[in-house]
Amino acid sequence: VARLRSTLPRVVVRNKIDLAGVQARRGAVDGIAEVWLSAKTGSGVDLLRQAILEVVGAEENTHDAFLARERHVRALGTAREHLALAATHLSPMAAPALELCAEELRQAHDALGEITGAHTADDLLGAIFGRFCIGK
């Protein structure tokens, strides 16, 4: 730990509080977060999770992060499929189909736009609500 650059975020973990008879807690020494926990009993693990999230600047709303990640993975898969199809339209084994290649590239671009935010909120809401049947 002493050899790490002082600019790197760190959390020092003090384990085995169950053996020492110490309570789980958080603290800081010289601006470095410390967490006392027991890996055996699980006491204080929630404090460690919270400290890590704070050190890296993340929020605890992992449900939204998971949904965003799932959507991003799907979009990347879609883009990859369209890029592969675009490459087949340029194959030296067949006559080039530039119009079809261009369309596949456009669709790959649109899929990546879902990740980069190139699509509007209305586009995203339309895609989300398009997956659900809303009726009487």
pLDDT of residue 115: 80
Domain that holds residue 36: 11-56
Q: Please give the Cα distance from 84 to 111 (Å, whole number).
A: 14
pLDDT per residue, tens digit, the chain (136 aa), is: 566 666 677 889 999 999 999 999 999 988 889 999 999 999 999 999 999 888 876 655 555 555 667 888 899 999 999 999 999 888 777 777 888 988 999 899 889 888 877 755 566 556 655 655 544 4
Q: Are residues 42 and 71 in the same domain?
A: no
Q: What is the pLDDT of residue 30?
A: 84
Residues 38, 100: Cα–Cα separation, whole Å: 60
**pTM for the complete prediction?**
0.43
In the chain, the number of structural domains is 2
CA 126 to chain centre: 23
Which value, to the nearest 10 degrees, does the dihedral of the CA atoms of residues 66, 72, 75, 80 take? Answer: -120
Q: Are residues 29 and 46 in the same domain?
A: yes
For residues 80 and 113, membership in a common domain is answered with yes
In the 8-state DSSP scheme, what is residue 136? -
pLDDT score recorded for residue 136 = 41
